[in-house]
């Protein structure tokens, strides 16, 4: 029981590490801080690449967190903060990439996969509904059929 | 199920595995030769002038600092290098910067988030390749350049437009295979 409890605590430990912004870095206005967090979760940490700047402990992520807060405190809109970072780090910094010709396949993939799935279902159902008709009987089989129908049954020889 | 479709069904997993294998092999080969870098990110500043900045000197280095204006219209290509004394790959890169500097390529250094005393010790030990040297302790100018790690280097053409960015140490291979060609291409 105690071991299970310790194991559970160990498993939960990484979760507590997610809230990273140190209190000193937070904005005094809770609404602005909330906006900064929501925005930060959409900005990729360029160093760890699969984390947002709100999740990462890397120095650059902290610098960018502070930068986002500084801009928001100065009255910038979410879109302005994003375009500020986009101008410096490109599409890659946005965890939700913009819709453009070079990201078309990326955005279209779920739709294409869904259509492909429907296509497969349609194909397999069409096959199931229309079983191929049996091949016509040969002359030999016709004769045997007439025989079977005349006798109407049989026993093992 | 006809024998043909059964055979197709049997072959499908093998075909998928073979295709995947070929894909991974190509990716690994290209990674080995440097043609493909899975962590590589293109710079957003290619084709643009450097962002506005004016940075302070590294005290006692005896090397003048620089601002964005100093990178305009040098009449020859130049390299802007973000580095730090605490950065291990920077030690690997250093001989190549020294070589470039000896060959007359202007190398502009920005010490990123480094203690000035440590920057000085590094340069005294390994030599100074920098024509101009500035420091960016808060790392804010680096963010304006789109820097996400050190070392990182930007090649500017003769007019001062950013043409190439390399994230990571300029190894002898990068110098010979990529940078030389780019320097020749942007010679005037």
Cα–Cα distance between A17 and B104 in angstroms, integer? 49
Across A73-83, b (16+ Cβ under 10 Å) vs e yields eeeeeeeebbe
A and B: number of Cβ contacts within 8 A: 39
Question: How close does chain A come to B144, measured CA to CA in Å?
Answer: 6
Determine the topology of domain B68-185 in CATH: Glutaredoxin (3.40.30)
pLDDT digits (tens, 9 = 90+) for B22-73: 999 999 998 887 677 776 778 999 999 999 999 999 999 999 999 999 999 8
Delimit the domains of chain B by residue range: 1-38, 68-185
Of the partner residues A59, A67, A88, the one whose CB lies closest to the CB of residue B146? A88
Delimit the domains of chain A by residue range: 16-98, 99-130
So what's the ipTM on this one? 0.79
Q: What is the dihedral of CA A103, A104, A110, A116, to 10 degrees?
A: -140
| Residue A16: predicted pLDDT | 47
| CA dihedral (B124, B101, B161, B42) positive or negative | negative
Cα–Cα distance between A137 and B71 in angstroms, integer? 90
CB contact under 8 A, A88 and B145: yes
CA triple A44-A46-A48, angle to 5 deg:
90
pLDDT digits (tens, 9 = 90+) for B127-181: 999 999 999 999 999 999 999 999 999 999 999 999 999 999 999 999 998 899 9
CB contact under 8 A, B44 and A86: yes
Identify the weakest region by mean pLDDT among A6-20, A60-74, A108-122.
A6-20
| Residue B128: predicted pLDDT | 97
Of the partner residues B44, B51, B139, the one whose CB lies closest to the CB of residue A90? B44
CB contact under 8 A, A60 and B44: no
Cα–Cα distance between A48 and A56 in angstroms, integer? 7
User: Is there a contact between A53 and A64 (Cβ–Cβ < 8 Å)?
Assistant: yes
> How far does chain A reach from its first CA to its final CA, in angstroms?
72
CB contact under 8 A, A88 and B149: no
Identify the weakest region by mean pLDDT among A21-35, A111-125, B76-90, B107-121.
A21-35
pTM for this entry: 0.75
Q: Does domain A16-98 have CATH number 1.10.8.640?
A: yes
């Amino acid at each position: 029981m105690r071991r299970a409890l310790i194991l559970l605590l160990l498993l939960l430990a990484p979760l507590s590490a997610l809230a990273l912004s140190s209190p000193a870095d937070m904005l005094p206005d809770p609404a602005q801080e909330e906006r900064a967090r929501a925005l930060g979760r959409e900005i990729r940490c360029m160093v760890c690449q699969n984390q947002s700047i709100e999740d990462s402990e890397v120095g650059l992520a902290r610098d960018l967190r502070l930068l986002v807060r500084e801009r928001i405190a100065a009255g910038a809109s979410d879109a302005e903060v994003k375009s500020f970072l986009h101008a410096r780090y490109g599409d890659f910094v946005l965890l939700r990439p913009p819709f453009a010709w070079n990201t078309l396949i990326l955005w279209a993939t779920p739709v294409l996969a869904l259509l492909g799935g429907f296509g497969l279902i349609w194909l397999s159902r069409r096959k199931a509904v229309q079983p191929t008709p049996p091949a016509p009987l040969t002359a030999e089989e016709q004769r045997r059929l007439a025989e079977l129908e005349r006798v109407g049954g049989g026993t093992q020889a | 199920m006809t024998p043909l479709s059964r055979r197709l069904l049997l072959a499908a997993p093998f075909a998928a595995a073979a295709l995947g294998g070929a894909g991974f092999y190509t990716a690994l080969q290209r990674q080995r030769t440097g043609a493909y870098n899975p962590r590589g990110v293109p710079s957003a500043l290619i084709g643009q002038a450097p962002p506005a900045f004016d940075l302070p000197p590294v005290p006692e280095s005896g090397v003048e600092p620089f601002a964005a204006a100093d990178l305009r219209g040098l009449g020859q290509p130049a390299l802007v290098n973000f580095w730090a004394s605490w950065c291990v790959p920077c030690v690997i890169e250093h001989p190549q910067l020294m070589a470039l500097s000896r060959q007359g390529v202007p190398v502009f250094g920005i010490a990123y988030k480094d203690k000035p005393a440590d920057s000085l010790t590094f340069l005294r030990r390994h030599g100074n390749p920098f024509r101009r040297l500035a420091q960016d302790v808060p790392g804010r100018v680096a963010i304006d350049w789109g820097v996400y790690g050190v070392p990182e280097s930007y090649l500017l053409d003769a007019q001062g437009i950013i043409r190439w960015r390399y994230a990571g140490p300029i190894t002898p291979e990068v110098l010979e295979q990529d940078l030389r060609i780019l320097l020749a291409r942007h010679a005037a």
